Structure 1
């Protein structure tokens, strides 16, 4: 009984890591490449490689009966890559991305003149 509960908990854990990595990858793909250097971060290609590998690894670690998968400790490394992007890079890049992030930039909501 406990062993089957552990299997379910680990399965949910791996699915959550995959979801987190996929969320980071989708967000990264929506950002313009010029926003990364403007925010003082590494290039979009660098973060694309980190988050892309994290997504692929987190998918490959999901335990499916009868299908070989990677060692489970790699899921933690995948989670670290996605979390670093989401908590450090994404907030820094958002003001330079246009769209929803426009108004929260370093110059404020009204641009450099400060209003009217």
Structure 2
């Protein structure tokens, strides 16, 4: 007999692992980006983003392993994914543009 809760638990586990991967990827990028790039791009300071993404990674990891009663649908986990998504969609492209030179053509640098 098919158990609906077993399938839902598997789906939530996969979603939790994906959320943790997203937050960890954003945290790793923020760690390797120079602090000066955040200021030049007009974004929040690097330390603030490291705090946001570090807590996001902690909350999503806790939701995967079930610490503290956190689940994938917890408000902390959802807020963590939103924070990492904002970083990856807005901040990451802006700080990546800082290090590029100005002599690039339409198909890349000359």
TM interval, short-chain normalised: 0.7 to 0.9
| Counterpart residue number, 2:91 | 89
Matches within 5 A, 1:29-68: 29-64=31-66, 68=68
Equivalent residues, number: 102
Structure 2 CA distance, aligned partners of 1:76 and 1:90? Answer: 20
**Unmatched 5+ stretches in structure 1:** none
| Counterpart residue number, 1:70 | 70
Report Cα offsets for 1:60-100 as digits up to 9, x if no partner: 11145xx644254121111011000000000011022x3xx
**Unmatched 5+ stretches in structure 2:** none
- Report the TM-score when normalising by structure 2: 0.83
> Structure 1 or 2: larger helix share?
2
Cα RMSD, aligned residues only: 1.9
SS across alignment from 1:55: helix
For 1:8, which of 5, 10, 18 is the aligned residue?
A: 10
Aligned in 2, Cα 1:42/1:68: closer, same or farther, shift over 3 Å? closer
Moved more, 68-77 or 36-45: 68-77
